[in-house]
């Protein structure tokens, strides 16, 4: 019984010795966010579990990684990826895949798996602000379409006097062609009549 009580007291003391702290606020750019969590324990951990949760009291786990401190680097997979490493009393992470709508409080959870006893502590949380980046392709497309519209409008403005000049030339040509045709038909109609009249005059004189 005494051994159990001593074990419980020792466990509580060791558990209270694990502290996790985080910066108050960080800002992410281009869909990645740097974040670090500081931890302090009387134990020298050899195996750890590091997790990141979204929300002050939420249970949405963003990423989690088991880390053997002989190889302190870790990478997680998924729509949101966490890459980082664990040094003495510090977890440095870079979070990829977050967007502006993911701005929230994020909490580090540090678990010491070995050596025993098992210890776990949740950080105080960090306000992570993610700045949305503009869609370059959309902006380029909109700029190009606007530029093409401007070019077409300028071309239509410049082509206005030319169209008017072409219309005047066509109308003038049509009028000239009609006048020429009228003269030709008039001469064709009056030609035989004049010839007959001149023949009658010559006969009468004879």
Both 79 and 162 in a single domain?
no
Residues 117 and 98 in one domain: yes
Answer whether residue 1 is part of any domain: no
Say if residue 59 is in the same domain as residue 139. Answer: no
Q: Tell me, yes or no, whether 152 lies in a domain.
A: yes
Both 63 and 105 in one domain: the answer is yes
In this prediction, residue 51 carries a pLDDT of 96
CATH of the domain at 78: 2.60.40.10
Average pLDDT across the chain, whole number: 80
What's the domain count of the chain?
Answer: 2
Is 126 found in the same domain as 70? yes
Indicate if 38 and 93 belong to the same structural domain: yes
Output Rg (C-alpha) for the chain, integer angstroms: 46
Q: Which domain holds residue 165?
A: 135-189
Q: CA-CA distance, 54 to 125, in Å (whole number)?
A: 9
Q: Higher model confidence: residue 52 or residue 145? A: 52
- Residue 80 in this model has a pLDDT that exceeds 60: yes
39 and 51 together in one domain: yes
DSSP secondary structure letters along the chain: -HHHHHHHHHHHHHHHT-EEE--SEEEEBTTEEEEEEEEE-SS--SEEEEEEEESSS--EEEEEEEEETTS-EEE--SSSEEEEEEETTEEEEEEES--GGG-EEEEEEEEEEESSSPEEEE---EEEEEPPPP-HHHHHHHHHHHHHHHHHHHHHHHHHHHHHHHHHHHHHHHHHHHHHHHHHHHHHHHHHHHHHHHHHHHHHH-
Listed in sequence order, the residues at least 6 apart from 15 whose beta carbon sits closer than 8 Å to its beta carbon are 117, 119
Question: What span, in angstroms and rounded, lies between the C-alpha atoms of 13 and 16?
Answer: 5
The dihedrals phi and psi of 69, each to the nearest 5 degrees, come to -65, -5
99 and 163, same domain (yes or no): no
Shared domain check, 103 and 41: yes
The tens digit of pLDDT for each residue in 10-51 reads: 555 554 579 999 999 999 877 789 999 999 988 889 999 999
Q: What is the pTM of this model?
A: 0.59
**In-domain check, residue 145:** yes
Same domain, residue pair 55 and 128:
yes
pLDDT of amino acid 180: 86
Task: List, for residues 41-71, the tens digit of each pLDDT value.
Answer: 888 899 999 999 999 887 899 999 999 999 9
Based on the domain organization, do 54 and 95 belong to the same domain?
yes
Residue 71 shares a structural domain with residue 98:
yes
Give domain status of residue 146, yes or no. yes
Last residue of a domain, one of 108, 133, 158: 133
Q: Please indicate, yes or no, if residue 196 is contained in any of the structural domains.
A: no
Mean pLDDT of 79-84: 94
Does 144 map to a domain? yes
Residue 88, domain member (yes or no) = yes
The CA-based angle 132-137-141, given to 5 degrees, is: 125
Q: What is the pLDDT of residue 28?
A: 87
pLDDT of residue 12: 52
Bridge-based pairing state of the strands 25-28 and 126-130: parallel
140-152 average pLDDT score: 58
Provide the pLDDT for residue 183. 83
Pick 166 or 122 by higher pLDDT. 122
The answer to the question of residue 112 being in a domain is yes
More reliable by pLDDT, 181 or 70: 70
């Amino acid at each position: 019984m005494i051994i159990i009580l001593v074990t419980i007291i020792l466990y509580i003391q060791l558990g209270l010795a694990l502290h996790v702290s985080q910066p108050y606020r960080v800002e992410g750019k281009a869909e990645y966010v740097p974040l670090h969590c500081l931890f302090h324990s009387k134990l020298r951990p050899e195996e750890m579990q590091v997790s990141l949760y979204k929300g002050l009291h939420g249970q949405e786990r963003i990423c989690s990684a088991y880390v053997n401190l002989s190889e302190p680097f870790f990478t997680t997979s998924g729509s949101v990826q966490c890459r980082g490493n664990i040094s003495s009393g510090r977890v440095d992470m870079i979070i990829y895949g977050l967007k502006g709508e993911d701005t929230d409080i994020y909490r580090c959870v540090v678990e010491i798996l070995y050596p025993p006893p098992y210890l776990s502590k949740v950080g105080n949380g960090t306000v992570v602000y993610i700045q949305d980046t503009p869609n370059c392709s959309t902006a380029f497309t909109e700029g190009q379409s606007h530029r093409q519209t401007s070019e077409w409008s300028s071309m239509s403005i410049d082509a206005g006097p030319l169209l008017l000049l072409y219309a005047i030339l066509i109308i003038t040509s049509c009028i000239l062609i009609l006048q020429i045709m009228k003269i030709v038909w008039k001469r064709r109609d009056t030609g035989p009549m004049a010839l007959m009249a001149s023949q009658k005059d010559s006969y009468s004189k004879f």
